[in-house]
């Protein structure tokens, strides 16, 4: 008589108990909720929780529960109406202090949350939320690289005292026109150097040498890919600032970025913050020239650029940057002398540049330029520079005299309170490397998401029911054991997805349905082997032992090949395809464990220990 080793009982028992507890939070469901985070990114403590709850009680907003989760406060409600009233109450009671995101939260009891158990996250199609598809202006990425190259060339030529007439960006090239007699070799070394990503050609124009620098196709693609990756990082940071849980920010194709915000019911703030390209630049004021004369004659002095202040007055600023928004490491909104202000911190390099600029220009003026890029809607007027349907608006929001030396910490004033809060958020999250434009927007309501869940569960239940009936009829009592194992298989899949915090989407439910069928096939292979052994005259215990051992290779081979396909789908697929691949691969692991290990333990417990067993109820 063959008996299963005791370690298998322990392993199956421990795994099933752990799987039950990990899957438990998913059975409580969820309800409307808000997530509240502080605008300055500080953690909300018990006193902050008490204050926010006080706002809700003062406005007679009913809520079910409020608790701290990491650095944010989660408040749950019975209906969406109370959820929206709570958001409005907090926003009105403490304007600019908190970021409130509409979402949903699990109904898990406090003891479940206390031991760190979380339900698996639901995708956009199941939970509801908003979907954005952005197009990245990769042409702007190339233009920025060309402008930066031109600026570096000018600085290098001045440093090496190589005389030149002009350095200009034309199309996809940077043209450098030297003065007659200038050192061509020195200029060539400055323009190209040892950079393999730049090709250089020479022309003769009226006795002067012209150098034309062009990026190689490899360098252009590298720069465009870098811009998209930087934008991905920035968008992820901005989503984090919004307080949205389980967001998905991925690249789509050559120049598009997909953003999914499950649980978000009000897309307005997300649209404004995600797509904003607002940033700032710090420039010295050109004190030597008259801005009114430049505006009237439309002739701006070389090395300067004309801007308008918020009061409508012209101001000439130096073209050379002191620092820009992408060099900021932190930004928080607040007040300075009763006026809204953004407190900024620069990185080390920008801090040194600011220290040098303020040291050398005490008593002179410095301006903060606010820059915003957007794509115009049909009929919309651009107040700045228009290129096609793209608009760049620039204005000097602050022009102040440098009264002291400072480096990496200072304040930006001249903004309205709401502008200061939003600018601080954008600067803190990082500026976009290149502009992005909203191509597609979809809002999936919670009701539609719940309908998808209900339909998916119905499909799973209907498919499983047919499978259970077939196994019970065709394989008798052994089929009932297989049905129990199939249920455990689904529980283990849910447990693994909860443990890994993998996102379940509608295709993921299809993957679970497919996994149930694959698990049934594995049990069928085992039972057919047992039948074959019984027909060959083996004893019931020997048939059980041989059936599991001989079926193992066939089960393993079929599941390994399916796993290879699932991994390929995960690596090369996007969005829903990845969701299907995740459940498929996890389902393969749980199928192998449940069909080979759990089935063997259960069958051994019921029939394997009987000494006078003459037959098996295997159909």
- How far apart are the C-alpha atoms of 157 and 165, rounded to whole Å? 11
Q: Which phi and psi angles does 135 have, rounded to 5°?
A: -105, 130
- State pLDDT tens for residues 43-83: 788 888 899 999 999 989 999 888 888 778 889 998 888 88
Cite the beta strand spans of 179-231 per DSSP E: 198-205, 208-215
Q: Nearest-CA neighbor of 414 among 367, 351, 365?
A: 367
* Domain presence at residue 334: yes
pLDDT at 491: 92
pLDDT at 213 over 80: yes
Confidence check: pLDDT of 493 > 90: yes
Among 340-344, 435-439, 443-447, 528-532, which range has the highest average pLDDT?
A: 528-532
* Boundary of a domain, candidates 177, 197, 220: 220
- Degrees to nearest 5, angle at CA 140 with 137 and 146: 155
384 shares a domain with 490:
no
Same domain for 481 and 603? yes
What is the rounded average pLDDT for all residues in the chain?
A: 81
Q: What pLDDT, on a 0 to 100 scale, did the predictor assign at position 574?
A: 67
Clarify whether residues 47 and 13 are in a common domain. no
Least confident of 21-25, 254-258, 301-305, 614-618: 614-618
Question: Residues 489, 575: one domain?
Answer: yes
Joined together, the tokens standing for residue 558 give 């079929």
Q: Whole-angstrom Cα distance, residue 93 to residue 243?
A: 19
CA atoms within 13 A on the CB side of 447: 2
Q: Which residues contact 229 (CB under 8 A, 6 or more apart)?
A: none
Do 469 and 593 sit in the same domain of this protein? yes
Both 402 and 456 in one domain: the answer is no
b/e 298-310 (16+ beta carbons within 10 angstroms → b)? eebbeebbbbbbe
Could you tell me if residue 232 is inside a domain? no
The answer to whether residues 406 and 355 touch, using CB atoms and an 8 Å cutoff, is: yes
**CA gap 15, 130 in Å, rounded:** 37
HEC secondary structure over 217-238:
HHHHHHHHHHHHHHHHHHHHHH
pLDDT for the residue 531:
87
Q: Which of 308, 304, 280, 287 has the alpha carbon at shortest distance from 401?
A: 287
Q: CATH no. for residue 97?
A: 3.30.70.260
Neighbour-count burial of 268, counting CB atoms closer than 10 A to its CB (0-12 exposed, 13-18 middle, 19+ buried): exposed
DSSP summary character for residue 608: I
Write the Ramachandran bin of 132: left for phi over 0, alpha for psi from -120 to 50, otherwise beta: beta
Please report, to the nearest 10 degrees, the dihedral formed by the alpha carbons of residues 112, 116, 117, 119 taken in order.
110
Q: How far apart are CA 366 and CA 280, in angstroms?
A: 13
Once rounded to an integer, what is the mean pLDDT over residues 214-220? 87
Contact 89, 61 (CB under 8 A): yes
Reported as half-sphere exposure (CB side, CA atoms, 13 A), residue 593 has a value of 23
Domain count, the chain: 4
Q: What tokens does 599 get?
A: 């089935």
- How many angstroms separate the CA atoms of 412 and 410, rounded? 7
Within a domain: residue 235? Answer: no
Distance CA(34)–CA(424), nearest Å, equals 22
The answer to whether residues 574 and 603 belong to one domain is yes
Phi first, then psi, for residue 130 (nearest 5°) are -125, 150
pLDDT of residue 266 exceeding 60, the answer is no
User: Does one domain contain both 401 and 484?
Assistant: no
- What does the block give as tokens for 320? 């050379």
439 located within any domain? no
Question: CB-based contacts of 461: which residues, under 8 Å, 6+ apart?
Answer: none
* pLDDT, average across residues 103-119: 82
Judgement on whether residues 407 and 391 belong to the same structural domain of the protein: yes
Alpha-carbon dihedral 193, 194, 197, 201, rounded to 10 degrees: 50
The residue whose two tokens read 């990769």 is 138
User: What is the mean predicted confidence (pLDDT) over 353-373?
Assistant: 84
Instruction: Mark out the alpha helices in 501-539 (DSSP H runs).
Output: 506-535
456 and 534 housed in the same domain: yes
* β-strands 121-122, 503-504 pairing: parallel
* Main-chain dihedrals φ then ψ at residue 236, nearest 5 degrees: -60, -40
Tell me which residue range forms the domain holding 294.
278-416
Per-residue pLDDT tens digits for 16-26: 999 999 999 88
CATH classification at residue 333: 3.30.1360
Angle at 599 between CA 595 and CA 601, to 5 degrees: 135
Residue 488 binned pLDDT confidence (cut-offs 50, 70, 90): very high
225 belongs to a structural domain: no
Residue located via tokens 């694959």: 518
| Confidence check: pLDDT of 125 > 90 | no
Q: Is residue 38 part of a domain?
A: yes
Per-residue pLDDT tens for 563-587? 898 899 888 876 678 888 888 999 9
CA 231 to chain centroid: 10
Which tens digit of pLDDT belongs to each residue from 173-203?
888 888 888 888 888 888 887 778 888 888 8
Characterize the bridge pairing of strands 279-284 and 256-262: unpaired
pLDDT at 247 over 80: no
Boundary-marking domain end, from 189, 220, 251: 220
Shared domain for 452 and 324, answered yes or no, is: no
Q: Which CATH number goes with the domain that contains 551?
A: 1.20.1640.10
Among the residue ranges 98-112, 220-234, 263-277, 393-407, the one predicted with the least confidence is: 263-277
Which H or E element spans position 9? helix 6-23
CATH code for position 214: 3.30.1240
Q: What are the pLDDT digits (tens) for 514-544?
A: 888 888 888 888 888 888 888 888 888 888 8
- Per-residue tokens: 579: 């969701």
| Residue recorded with tokens 């009237």 | 296
Residue 257 lies in a domain: no
Q: Looking at the domain assignment, is residue 438 inside a domain?
A: no
470 and 593: one domain? yes
Cβ-contact 117, 22 below 8 angstroms: yes
Give the ranges where 385-445 is alpha helix by DSSP (H): 417-429
Please check whether residue 33 is in contact with residue 420, taking contact to mean a CB–CB distance below 8 angstroms. Answer: no
Q: Which of 188, 220, 252 is the last residue of a domain?
A: 220
């Amino acid at each position: 008589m063959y008996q299963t080793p005791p370690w298998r009982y322990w392993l199956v028992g421990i795994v099933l108990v752990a799987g039950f507890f990990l899957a438990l939070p998913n059975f409580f469901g969820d309800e409307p909720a808000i997530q509240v985070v502080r605008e300055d990114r500080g953690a909300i403590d018990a006193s902050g929780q008490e204050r926010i709850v006080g706002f809700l009680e003062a406005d007679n907003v009913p809520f079910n529960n409020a608790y701290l989760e990491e650095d944010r406060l989660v408040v749950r409600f019975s209906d969406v109406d109370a959820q929206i009233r709570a958001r409005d109450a907090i926003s009105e009671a403490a304007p600019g202090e908190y970021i409130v995101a509409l979402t949903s939260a699990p109904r898990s009891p406090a003891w479940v949350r206390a031991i760190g158990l979380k339900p698996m996250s639901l995708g956009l199609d199941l939970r509801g939320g908003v979907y954005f598809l952005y197009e990245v202006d990769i042409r702007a990425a190339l233009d920025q690289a060309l402008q930066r190259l031109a600026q570096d060339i000018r600085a290098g030529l001045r440093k090496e005292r190589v005389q030149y007439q002009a350095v200009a960006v034309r199309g996809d090239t940077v043209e450098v026109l030297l003065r007659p007699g200038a050192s061509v070799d020195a200029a060539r070394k400055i323009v190209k150097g040892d950079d393999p990503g730049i090709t250089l050609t020479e022309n003769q124009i009226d006795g002067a040498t012209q150098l034309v620098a062009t990026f190689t196709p490899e360098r252009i693609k590298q720069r465009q890919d870098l811009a998209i990756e930087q934008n991905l990082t920035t968008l992820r940071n901005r989503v984090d600032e919004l307080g949205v849980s389980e967001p998905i920010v991925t690249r789509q194709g050559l120049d598009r970025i997909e953003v999914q915000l499950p649980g978000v019911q009000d897309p307005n703030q997300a649209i404004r913050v995600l797509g904003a390209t607002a940033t700032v630049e710090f420039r010295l004021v050109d004190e030597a020239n008259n801005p009114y004369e430049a505006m009237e004659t439309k002739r701006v002095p070389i090395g300067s650029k004309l801007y308008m202040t918020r009061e409508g007055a012209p101001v000439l600023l130096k073209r050379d940057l002191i620092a820009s928004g992408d060099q900021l490491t932190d930004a928080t909104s607040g007040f300075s002398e009763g006026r809204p202000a953004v407190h900024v911190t620069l990185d080390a390099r920008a801090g040194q540049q600011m220290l040098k600029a303020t040291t050398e220009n005490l008593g002179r003026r410095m301006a903060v330029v606010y820059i915003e890029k957007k794509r115009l809607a049909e009929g919309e007027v651009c107040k700045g520079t228009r290129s096609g349907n793209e608009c760049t608006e620039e204005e000097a929001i602050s022009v102040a005299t440098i009264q002291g030396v400072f480096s990496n910490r200072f304040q930006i004033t001249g903004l309205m309170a709401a502008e200061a809060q939003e600018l601080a958020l954008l600067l803190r999250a990082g500026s976009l490397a290149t502009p992005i434009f909203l191509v597609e927007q979809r809002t999936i309501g919670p009701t539609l998401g719940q309908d998808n869940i209900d339909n998916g569960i119905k499909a799973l239940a209907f498919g499983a029911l047919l499978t259970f009936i077939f196994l019970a009829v065709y394989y008798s009592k052994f089929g009932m054991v297989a049905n129990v194992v199939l249920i455990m298989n689904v529980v283990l899949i849910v447990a693994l997805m909860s443990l890994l915090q993998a996102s379940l989407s509608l295709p993921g439910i299809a993957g679970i349905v497919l996994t149930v069928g694959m698990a049934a096939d594995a049990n069928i292979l085992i039972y057919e082997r047992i039948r074959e052994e019984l027909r060959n005259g083996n004893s019931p215990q020997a048939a059980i032992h041989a059936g599991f051992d001989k079926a193992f290779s066939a089960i393993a081979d079929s599941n390994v090949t399916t796993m290879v396909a699932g991994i390929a789908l995960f690596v090369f697929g996007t969005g829903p395809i990845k969701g299907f691949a995740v459940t498929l691969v996890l389902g393969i692991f749980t199928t192998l464990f449940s069909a080979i290990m759990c089935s063997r333990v259960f069958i051994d417990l019921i029939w394997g220990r009987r000494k006078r067993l003459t037959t098996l109820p295997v159909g």
